[in-house]
A and B are shown apart, each in its own frame.
Chain A
Amino acid sequence: MIERCLTHRGLSVDRRWVLRLSLAGLSTCLMPCGHAQGAGEGVLRVGVLAHYKPFSFIEGQLQGFDVDVMKRLASIMKLQLQIHVDGMATLQKKLQADEISVIGNQLLPTPENRRLFDFAKPYASNQLVCVQHEDDTRDFLSLDDLYGKKLGVLANTGVEEQARGVVGKTVLPFPSIDQALKQLAEKKLDAVLEESLIADFYIERDGLPVKITAPFAPPMASGLAVRKGNKEMAARLSAAIQTLLSDGSFKEISTRWFGYDVSRSNVSHSVPR
């Protein structure tokens, strides 16, 4: 459901955080949970994951980039926001049962997910990138370039598997990516592969002397998922997202979490026509 294949020279990446988080048993309702359906009674019921940093996570209170976006969207839609925190499997069941109207984390519109959900307009661009120390001027554009280099990756992921296939024993798996980034900051690693929004979040939050260098995969157009067939909600959310992007409020939210506006991709190309 939430597998993501980034098809480029055999480098495939799964959305491992979502898979891991789907195991989360935490089920919390931050506001009184009634049984009203969707947004029909002036309430926007949104489901988010509990440990999906920086998108939605609990540190003292529920917070995150997607949480802030949902708050603003509810405000634009003039609805009261009600957030359900749960694992992905439960959120999906709640969506099907109309207990929530939106899964408020960025799901990928893969063919498999499109069979399960309809999607609102995406609002953030994310892609697999190479992260290096800010003093490092080497150009790593492919896994071949990283052969023999100490490469930090998140353990038990598609990235680790693919990197091991090319780079070999010098791939070092970490249980959490912030640990890898800290070792990179101490120059104990040559590079780290991670998704741009996650890397940007830690760089911004921790002020690490590391930098995002080259992309390793295409941008991912992930977005808010609604129940399959709920075109009205998808359209309402898309309209609200359009307002969010155009009225300057997204830029403010994005800058707070990532240091800049992440609504647009940071890559482009020339193709003969």
Chain B
Amino acid sequence: MFRASSIRPQAALRCFWHGWFIFVLLLLTGCETMTIKPPQVDTVRFTPMATEKRVLNEPKVKYLVRADGFEYCARITGIPVTPTSRPMACAFWNVRRKECTIVTPLTTGFNYLGHELRHCFEGAFHD
């Protein structure tokens, strides 16, 4: 009786930690999948805007890679960082000076960089 009652809580605790480990693993896998999956807007082909209609025709582009990339993009776009979504990259442009800056976190994807580069020419094309 004594042994059984002392083992059961341990087993329950072990079971809990196993369950927690699996949960965290699934969560991380989900995040990674989500991070890798390109946004819908980046999976389709598009016809670039005619040169004369572009917001910036020949922009000077700067690319900043920041440790606080998610947080910065969240701050300037108003898109919050949540467990299920976060801004993966952002861009801002100065029409008068024909300058555009792309910001990403330390790790990014071609789709995010390409998406932001399109903004540098066409402005807010999906808003």
Which residues of A pack against B, CB within 8 Å? 7-9, 11, 127, 139, 141-142, 200, 203, 211-219, 259-261, 264-273
Query: What are 15 A-to-B residue pairs whose CB atoms are below 8 Å?
Result: A8-B75, A213-B94, A215-B92, A218-B75, A264-B55, A264-B123, A266-B123, A267-B76, A267-B92, A268-B124, A268-B125, A268-B127, A270-B116, A271-B86, A272-B38
A261 / chain B contacts, CB cutoff of 8 Å: 95
A266 touches B85 (CB 8 A): no
A264 touches B124 (CB 8 A): yes
Q: State the main secondary structure of chain A at its contact with B.
A: loop
Which residues of B pack against A, CB within 8 Å? 34-35, 37-42, 55, 62, 64, 66, 68, 71-79, 85-97, 101, 103, 111-112, 115-116, 119, 123-127
Which among A200, A217, A273 is the interface contact of B75 at CB below 8 angstroms? A217
Q: For residue B108, which residue of chain A has the nearest CB?
A: A270
A215 / chain B contacts, CB cutoff of 8 Å: 76, 92
Q: For residue B77, which residue of chain A has the nearest CB?
A: A269
User: How far apart are the CA atoms of A7 and B75 in the complex, in Å?
Assistant: 7
Q: State the main secondary structure of chain B at its contact with A.
A: mixed
B55 / chain A contacts, CB cutoff of 8 Å: 264
Using A259-B96, A264-B127, A267-B90 as known contacts, say yes or no to A272 and B76 having CB atoms under 8 A apart. Answer: no
> Closest CB-CB distance, A204 to chain B, in whole Å?
8
User: How far apart are the CA atoms of A211 and B71 in the complex, in Å?
Assistant: 24
Which among A9, A212, A219 is the interface contact of B71 at CB below 8 angstroms? A9
> Closest CB-CB distance, A119 to chain B, in whole Å?
18
User: How far apart are the CA atoms of A269 and B119 in the complex, in Å?
Assistant: 9
User: How far apart are the CA atoms of A246 and B8 in the complex, in Å?
Assistant: 73
A271 touches B87 (CB 8 A): yes
Using A269-B90, A270-B87 as known contacts, say yes or no to A142 and B40 having CB atoms under 8 A apart. Answer: no
